[in-house]
Amino acid sequence: MKTQIENIFPEKNDLPDNIDLPFPINQTQYLINGELHEWAGPCEEVYSPVYIEEKGSAGNVIGSYPLMDEETSLEALKAAKEAYNNGQGEWPLMTIKERIECFRNFTLKMKEQRDIVVKLLMWEIGKSLADSEKEFDRTVEYINDTIDALKDLDRNSSRPVIKQGIIAQIRRAPLGVVLCMGPFNYPLNETFTTLIPAMIMGNTVVFKPPKLGVLLHSPLLEAFKESFPKGVVNTIYGEGQKVVAPIMQSGEVNVLAFIGSCNVADILKKQHPQPHKLKSVLGLEAKNPAIILEDANLENTVKECITGSLSYNGQRCTALKIIFVHENIVEEFIEKFTAEVEKLVIGMPWDKNVAITPLPEPNKSEQLTELVTDAIEKGAKLCNPSGGIYNKSFFFPAVLSDVNSSMKIYHVEQFGPIVPIVSYSDIQEPLDYVVQSNYGQQASIFGKESKELGILIDTLVNQVCRVNINSQCQRGPDIFPFTGRKDSAEGTLSVSDALRVFSIRTLVALKENDFNKSIFTDITQNKESDFLSTDFIL
Ligand code: G3H
């Protein structure tokens, strides 16, 4: 394995034809106020986690993107603000049907870019071909599901409500300007899970791609430009301090949609001069535990824990990041688990059946090594022979046993391929871990006995927001609510919840008398208002 890892990166001549792109891709365009502008200022180089060995030297620069300044960033905000125009702009006043039409148009254009976006996902963040394709397709499906959910919402709100002598029409209205920032691990999907619902509800958007996974958005700029009125979606790039801080400090952002670390979320929220006017929708950190009971079916448990902890190299907010195993089965579990880990296919994102690929974050292998070393120094055992062997951005998963609270890996979110295993004798030990943890996203329990599972479910549902039984933690299906307690999230996202998060319930009310009834009838029958209307979209 060591030799395989030493030679993990391909030579240029060994690259398959179908994954190559005309590198470097130097993105100079940005979208503000419906126009694609050319950036002439400084640019940031994009490094791929995939090193290409060329005649002994290693090269991995694949392109660059604009390092914008404060002035340009504020232009993006101005465009979004003018397009919203205090709720009087073309977009917030557009009918839902018309907005849906814009999205249908966008989706058609977006699908034309599938091939290049998928390739850029592989090159920029090292995601496997299968997972990159899944990310793209899941995003398109998310847009279609959002359209369907909006139609449902519209149908349900088209019926007036009559209560205590008052007739009301209750609908959802937009909130204003939304700043959308997604994470590097799902740069397309997770960014779009806020961007799409925010826009479709009539808000206007300033959108900053994550630091890693920027170029893959560039093929979609033209589609955004052609599908939406000017200023509805605007893009910014560069250092947060230069391009995001001024936008937040302006006080003109109504909703912050951010998926990333608690630290950055706190900084951004504090920059707003009137925090009470800022609504935040945040997807933050997590350290989801698996709790494996004595009677668990080990075959299924190992399978779920492998995908749960190591899909996309463990770089998922929903990944299983610590595994508690009952002491009576811990040895057997470790033996079976490490055997499966050692069988995982390693390689480049486009390799057939590849499971473990290079990591995009700079110096990640060194950081993971520090965590492993710290744990071993404090008494943990490295269980798998290839665990922790690394070459540049490639790091083979390390399975650690005998982990305890003195070690950093017990507490921090590793966001990478380390699997810490804690042996317990009393179920209270993992439960205390969950209660005392700063995080509260999800947990997985593996076991057979329904009575024991029932008690654990009732305890855990007040600690985390999804309890998975004999199944790994995950976000999907996207119609399920996705959220967390404590440092893990603020607000709930799902296809339908997101429509609610980016809008506010608003109603028109009339005292129920003959005069008002005839006004209601006239307005609805003559179609004199889009809001006060009993029409609905089929
Ligand atoms: O990184 C967090 C993602 O929302 C996880 O989504 O569970 O579908 O991989 P997933």
Give pLDDT, residue 22. 86
Q: Contact, 65 vs 43, CB < 8 A?
A: yes
Q: How far apart are the CA of 316 and the centre of ligand 1, in A?
A: 5
Concatenated DSSP letters of 211-261: SSS-GGGGGGHHHHHHHS-TTSEEE--S-HHHHTHHHHHTT--SEEEEES-
Question: What are the residues whose beta carbons fall under 8 Å from the beta carbon of 377, sequence distance 6 or more?
Answer: none
Protein residue with its CA nearest to atom 6 in ligand 1: 475
Distance CA 200, CA 344 (A): 41
- 381-382, strands of its sheet edge to edge: 381-382, 398-401, 418-424, 320-326, 288-292, 442-446, 466-469
Angle, in degrees to the nearest 10, between helices 189-200 and 129-157: 20
Q: How far apart are the CA of 284 and the centre of ligand 1, in A?
A: 12
The answer regarding whether domain 68-283 maps to CATH 3.40.605.10 reads: yes
Strand partners, 515: none
Is residue 41 within 6 Å of ligand 1 at its C-beta?
A: no
Distance CA 194, CA 254 (A): 14
Model confidence, pTM: 0.96
Distance CA 34, CA 191 (A): 20
Give pLDDT, residue 59. 65
CATH 3.40.309.10 maps onto the chain at 288-481
Distance CA 370, CA 409 (A): 10
DSSP state of 13: G
Pocket test for ligand 1, best of 311, 318, 468 (most atoms within 8 A of CB): 318
| Three-state SS letters, 275-336 | HHHCEEEEECCCCEEEEECCCCCHHHHHHHHHHHHHHHHHCCCCCEEEEEEECCCHHHHHHH
Through-space distance between the first and last CA atoms of the chain, rounded to whole angstroms: 58
Is residue 476 within 6 Å of ligand 1 at its C-beta?
A: yes
Listed as ranges, residues in the chain with pLDDT below 70 are: 55-59
Give pLDDT, residue 18. 87
Give pLDDT, residue 241. 95
Ligand 1: which atom is nearest the Cα of residue 183? 1
Distance CA 538, CA 534 (A): 13
Q: How far apart are the CA of 260 and the centre of ligand 1, in A?
A: 12
Concatenated DSSP letters of 495-532: HHHHHHHTEEEEEEEEE-SHHHHHHHHHHHHTT--SSS
Strand partners, 289: 322
Amino acid at 424: Y
Distance CA 97, CA 366 (A): 52
Give pLDDT, residue 465. 98
From residue 264, how far is each of 71, 248, 268, 501 by CA, in Å?
A: 22, 12, 6, 21
Angle, in degrees to the nearest 10, between helices 96-112 and 189-200: 150
Distance CA 417, CA 408 (A): 15
Q: How far apart are the CA of 251 and the centre of ligand 1, in A?
A: 31
Distance CA 355, CA 128 (A): 7
Nearest to 199 by CA among 518, 498, 426: 498
Give pLDDT, residue 62. 94
Give pLDDT, residue 13. 86
Pocket test for ligand 1, best of 139, 186, 473 (most atoms within 8 A of CB): 186
Give pLDDT, residue 14. 87
Q: How far apart are the CA of 318 and the centre of ligand 1, in A?
A: 5
How far, in whole angstroms, is CA 35 from its chain's centroid? 27
Q: How far apart are the CA of 399 and the centre of ligand 1, in A?
A: 22
Homologous superfamily (CATH) for 288-481: Aldehyde Dehydrogenase; Chain A, domain 2 (3.40.309.10)
Decide the pairing of beta strands 398-401 and 381-382.
antiparallel
Protein residue with its CA nearest to atom 7 in ligand 1: 474
Place of tokens 């499906």: 141
